[in-house]
Amino acid sequence: MLKHRGFPGRLPGTDFQFTIRRDNKKGVTPIVERERFADRKPADRRADEGFMAALWENFGDEPFERGNLDAGRLSWLFGREVIAGEDPFDPVSYDALLRIDERRARASFPEVFAKGGYSK
């Protein structure tokens, strides 16, 4: 499992996890498309925004390997702002390639891209 060095382990000041420390010996947690409802808590929205900012800062519009990125956090963005970077896509592989759909990410998280520090 690739460990993304320099990627934040969690949203600063919270327990919202962005990466995992080691592979799951019981099996890889699949990446699934989770529906985000309009009534989500502000803290959950901040975690999504922080994770998207970290993804953009680290990978930009280039494909990236899932590696040690948290499947739960990825699942909140998967199918919208983060999409499969290969066909066929294996949702239970640490080697699976993903990429940011920049158009959708900019629409969903304009504040991430407006800050100016998140461009590759």
pLDDT in tens, 8-43: 999 988 889 999 888 777 788 999 999 989 898 999
Q: Cβ atoms within 10 A of the Cβ of 56, count?
A: 22
> CA torsion 109→3→9→114, rounded to 10°?
-20
Residue 25 lies in a domain: no
* pTM for this entry: 0.89
Residue 1 lies in a domain: no
Residue 6 lies in a domain: no
List b or e across 18-48, with b for residues whose CB sees 16 or more CB atoms inside 10 angstroms: bbbeeeeeeebbebeeeeeeeeeeeeeeebb
Residue 34 lies in a domain: no
Residue 33 lies in a domain: no
Residue 89 lies in a domain: yes
For the cut 70, the answer to whether the pLDDT of residue 119 exceeds it is: no
Q: Where are the alpha helices (DSSP H) in 20-120?
A: 42-59, 71-77, 102-108, 110-114
Residue 58 lies in a domain: yes
Residue 95: give the domain boundaries: 42-114
CA distance 85 to 98: 4
Q: Summarize pLDDT for 66-79 with one digit per residue, the tens.
A: 999 999 999 999 99
List residues bridging with 10 in a β-sheet. 17
**Number of domains making up the chain:** 1
For the cut 60, the answer to whether the pLDDT of residue 89 exceeds it is: yes
Residue 62 lies in a domain: yes
Percent of the chain with pLDDT over 90: 72
